[in-house]
Amino acid sequence: MIVNPTTFAPAYVAWWRQLQPPWRTRVSGTLSQDVPETEDWANLAKGGTAGIYTVVVALSWWIRALGTASDTTEVLLMVQDLLWVLQRLRQPHDVVPSLKRVRTEESDVQLVGRGKRYDHQLSNLL
């Protein structure tokens, strides 16, 4: 496969940006690393040959296509950003506090009852 860095690089960066959660896109065009607490990285936490692996392989093509005098700054930033994302993916996600736990702190008896039934339904589904 012949990769032309001049055309491949912007296409790759655009693709990578499109894969990112909306909160990562800043007005300045840079990618934010301020992860919201509720972020679960569901869009990027994909395994297998159709997952994040494709992004890494495509990046390797870019790297290999660079010549001697090529500026590696951009691709290096891309590597670091992708590395950062992969590290985030491996981190355990914050689990939303259980509804049951929340309701025990409340005094609404009806809400507690409904929550138990709802959790029971979910448990049956799982």
Partner 1 sequence: MLDGSPVESNAQATSKSEPTSSTQVGDGGELQVGDNIESRSSLESRTEAENVEGGRIGATATGGKFIGATTVDEGEGPKTQEAESNSRASAASATGLQENEELTEKNHDGGVKRGGGSTGERDDIDMQDVETGGKEQRVDVTMGDVNSDKSAIEPDAPVNTHVTINVTKFGDTTSTHSTSTATTTSHAITASQTATTTRAAANASQDTTATSQAVGHPGTGGSAIASTSTNGVFGASLSALTTPVASDVGCPQWLQNMLEYLRQSSTEPSWQDLVTELVAHEKASRVSGVSQPLYCNKGLLMNFGRKCPPPFVLPRSRPGSKDIKRTFP
Q: Which of 26, 56, 104, 113 binds partner 1 (CB under 8 A)?
A: 56
* Residue 1 contacts partner 1 per CB under 8 A: no
Residue matched to tokens 């049951």: 100
Given candidates 3, 19, 58, 82, which one binds partner 1 under the rule CB under 8 A? 82
Kind plus residue range of the DSSP H or E element containing 33: none
CA 111 → CA 99, 101, 105, 126, distances in Å? 10, 12, 11, 22
Q: Is 27 near partner 1 (CB under 8 A)?
A: no
Please give the backbone phi and psi of residue 77, each rounded to the nearest 5 degrees, phi first: -65, -40
Quick one: 12 exposed, middle or buried, by C-beta within 10 A (0-12, 13-18, 19+)? buried
AA letter at 76: L
CA-CA distance, 104 to 112, in Å (whole number)? 7
111 near partner 1, rule: CB under 8 A: no
Q: Is 125 a residue that touches partner 1 (CB under 8 A)? A: yes
Work out whether 112 is an interface residue with partner 1 (CB under 8 A): no
> In whole angstroms, how close is the CB of 27 to partner 1 at the nearest point?
27
Is 42 a binder of partner 1 (CB under 8 A)?
Answer: yes
Contact residues toward partner 1 (CB under 8 A) are 40, 42, 45-53, 56-57, 59-60, 63-64, 66-69, 72, 75-76, 79-80, 82-83, 86-87, 89-90, 92-93, 95-96, 98-99, 118-119, 121-122, 125-126
